[in-house]
A and B are shown apart, each in its own frame.
Chain A
Amino acid sequence: MAEYALTSKGEGNVKATLAGRLVIGNVARFMEEMERFFHERRPTSMTCDLAGLVFLDSAGALALLKVQDAAKSHSFTLTYENMSREAGEIMDLIDRDALVKPPLHEEMTNRSFAVRTGDATVHFYHDLINVLTFLGELLAAITYSLIHPGAVRWRDVLFYMKKAGAEALPIVGLISLLIGLIMAFMSSLQLKQFGANVFVASLVGISIVKELGPIMTAIIFSGRSGSAFAAEIATMMVNEEVDALTTMGFDPLRFLVIPKVLAAIIVVPVLTLYSMFFGILGGLLVGVIGLDLTFYTYLQQTMKPIEVFDLASSLVKSVVFAVLIAGIGCQRGFQVRGGAEAVGEATTSAVVAAIFLVIVADSAFAIVLQYIR
């Protein structure tokens, strides 16, 4: 039974005894009781006999100290008598200064709105500069690799093509098929009312080829591979592997980033084409099964509004997305300082930043392409 027993006698000069066990489970009650006692009885001095105390843990010892402090704030002294040697040793473990010492760092949540906004702005600015610098270095390194293909680690390029490309085929296919299916189904509900079923094919075709194919592929690619690139490089940073490469005379950018970016440049356009195929197939299924269109009409209606320019510009777009996603993934990896917990942050940040940049780039393309044609 983890309990203590407190008894007291006398007015003004109080003599009390504390017996039993004072442990972490009952110290709150003990301190409350003592505080109430001080308040009601207003002693002028007090001694507390601890001879009957059979067990005291560090929380109990802390409570004894705090009660002594409380007595001091009621302007009388509380002395403990007959404290056992063991209890004294536990009391000695407590460093009174440590209880009141202010923390070395201010609590981060206490900062004002203005300070936080300022910090976030400065952080964003530095981040932007870092990303731009990195992309610049990356473009220089890509150009160098294209001029000196012998310096590229082609074995790694193949490895990442398999990882990021071949292994992504099922998920890209499935998602694109479903997107095509949903689009065709939803648009048919509206178009049916006007008897314009046949335009479902054009609608699905145009949106898949011009926008959704490249964008969906880019988003899946950043989730699957951008994050993997970030995690891989971040882990290497934490394990000092990147430092080791640098000291062996390798350029980490050429050694680690170029194979990933080249693999991305090769597989993302292929995945995009593949995604377009499945998107249109999804639409076709709805068209043929649900809308009574023939296979041939559907395909004809799909091809009618799509020009070679649309397809070509989408593929160019997907190359740009590939560089952005793989580049930002690696850049977030290199930013990691410290321990393993930073790896997760880098991964999240890589995916978020990659999707953001893809959308920004896509908007820019939408405007530019409008003027080019």
Chain B
Amino acid sequence: MKSIMEDRNIIIVENLVAGYGDNIILTGVSFEIRRGEIFIILGGSGCGKSTLLKYMIGLYRTTQGRVMIDGADIMSVDDKKLKSIRLGFGVLFQSGALIGSMTLGENVALPLSRRRDIPDGLQDLIVRMKLGMVDLAGYENHYPAELSGGMKKRAGLARAMVLDPTILFFDEPTAGLDPVTSTEIYGLIRRINADLGTTMIIVTHDLDLIMSIGDRAIMLDKAAQGIIADGTPRMLKENRDNPRVFSFFNREEQGDRHYGA
């Protein structure tokens, strides 16, 4: 147990510079994520929160800054090591990112097919179990095109957690969903976090999601090119020092935009 006590932080981001090509969106970003918490990365549109996520899962890589996952810097490890680190986490992409030419069952089984030690029969059972966990039991032969947006996200979640990962990343899990479906997704996230102890990193601008399930949050800002607030959602909501944070949490229009002559 000692080792777990020692790294209370499962992810450490240090001085990360993020962007596309020459276009730098974030500079000097540093924060830690604790084991087992629901951590939220929030901010307005275009502030670079999805980009930051892509760095954290190793899709984009840079030499400027470090992203430590369980002690290994995924910005500098070789491809083989990166692959093995990736087996320890799951990602739910914005649209679910299910492979369109495969059924739900085949999609959910994809991460399992990476392993040789799981016979087909067991694989089927695990797929059914995971689909059941996201209330999609019986849908294993459906194709993604036959499902609604919310169902696709739930199926994506089933696929992301099929190997019981220690970390789950979510890119806007409730974007484009109606309030009822969104609430179902919140419940699902909270349940998985409580029952399996999975660390959850959620990129979102959905205030209800942040307030109802977030343990801790950072807020990114486009103008500041970095983090402008850090703390529990309640602390952020009550923060009156930074007008941008305050206006975001209180759904107010910011002072620097105005209409009229």
Tell me if B99 and A241 are in contact (CB < 8 A): yes
Q: Within the complex, what minimum Cβ distance (angstroms) separates A340 from chain B?
A: 12
- Are A93 and B94 in contact, with the CB atoms below 8 A? no
Contact yes or no, B260 A92, CB < 8 A: yes
Q: Name B114's closest neighbour in chain A (CB-CB).
A: A249
Decide if A247 touches B91 in the complex (CB within 8 Å): yes
Asked whether B261 lies within 8 Å of A91 as measured between CB atoms, the reply is yes
Q: Please tell me if A316 contacts chain B, counting CB pairs below 8 Å.
A: no
A94 sits at the interface (CB 8 A)? yes
Closest to B171 in A: A240
Tell me whether B86 and A249 are in contact (CB under 8 A).
yes
Produce 1/0 per residue, A84-95, CB < 8 A to B: 000000011111
Residues of B within 8 A of A96 (CB): 261
A95 to B90, CA, bound (A): 47
Given contacts A239-B100, A249-B83, contact A244 B93 (CB under 8 A): yes
Which B residues are CB-close (under 8 A) to A247?
A: 57-59, 86, 89-91
Q: Are B95 and A240 in contact (CB under 8 A)?
A: yes
Could you tell me the distance between the alpha carbons of A158 and B159 in the complex, rounded to whole angstroms? 26
Q: Are B261 and A240 in contact (CB under 8 A)?
A: no
Distance to closest chain A CB from B125 (angstroms): 20
Number of B interface residues in the complex (CB < 8 A)? 26
**Alpha-carbon distance A248/B156, docked complex (angstroms):** 12
* Alpha-carbon distance between A93 and B259 when the two chains are bound, in angstroms: 6
A295 contacts chain B at the CB level, 8 A cutoff: no
* Chain A residues within 8 Å of B95, by CB: 239-240
Known: A239-B95, A240-B94, A241-B98. A246 touches B59 (CB 8 A): yes
- Is B97 a contact of A244 with CB atoms below 8 Å? yes
Residues of A within 8 A of B188 (CB): none
Contact A244 B91, beta carbon cutoff 8 Å: yes
Residues of B contacting A239 in the complex (Cβ-Cβ under 8 angstroms):
95, 97, 100
Interface status of B149 (Cβ within 8 A of chain A): no
- Let me know if B87 is at the binding interface, CB within 8 A: yes
Which residues in chain A, 216-257, are within 8 Å of chain B measured between CB atoms? 235-236, 239-241, 243-250
B261 neighbours in A (Cβ, 8 Å):
65, 91-92, 94-96
Interface positions, chain B 169-214, Cβ under 8 Å from A, are: none
Tell me if B231 counts as interface (CB < 8 A to partner A). no
Task: Give the interface residue-count category, chain A.
Answer: 20 to 34
Bound complex: CA of A240 vs CA of B86, how far in Å? 16
Residue-wise interface mask of B (72-92) relative to A, using a CB-CB cutoff of 8 A (1 in contact, 0 not)? 000000000001101101110
Q: In the assembly, what is the distance between CA of A239 and CA of B90, in Å?
A: 17
Chain A nearest CB: distance from B113 CB in Å? Answer: 9
Residues of chain B in range 213-261 having any CB-CB distance to chain A below 8 Å: 259-261
Chain A residues in 8 Å Cβ range of B87: 249
In the bound complex, do residue A248 and residue B93 qualify as a contact, i.e. CB atoms below 8 Å apart? Answer: no
> What chain B residues lie within 8 Å of A93 (beta carbons)?
259-260
In the complex, whether B111 has a CB less than 8 A from a CB of chain A is: yes
Q: In whole angstroms, how far apart are the Cα atoms of A5 and B261 in the complex?
A: 27
Interface residues of A in 191-219 (CB under 8 A from B): none
B260 in contact with A241 (CB, 8 Å): no
B-side residues, CB < 8 A to A, are 54, 57-59, 83-84, 86-87, 89-91, 93-95, 97-100, 110-111, 114, 156, 159, 259-261
A selection of 10 A-B contacts at a CB cut-off of 8 Å is A95-B259, A95-B261, A235-B100, A236-B100, A240-B93, A243-B97, A246-B59, A248-B111, A249-B84, A250-B110
Known: A239-B97, A245-B99. 17 other contacts (CB 8 A): A92-B260, A95-B260, A96-B261, A236-B99, A239-B95, A239-B100, A240-B95, A241-B98, A241-B99, A243-B59, A244-B91, A244-B98, A244-B156, A246-B59, A247-B90, A248-B86, A249-B114
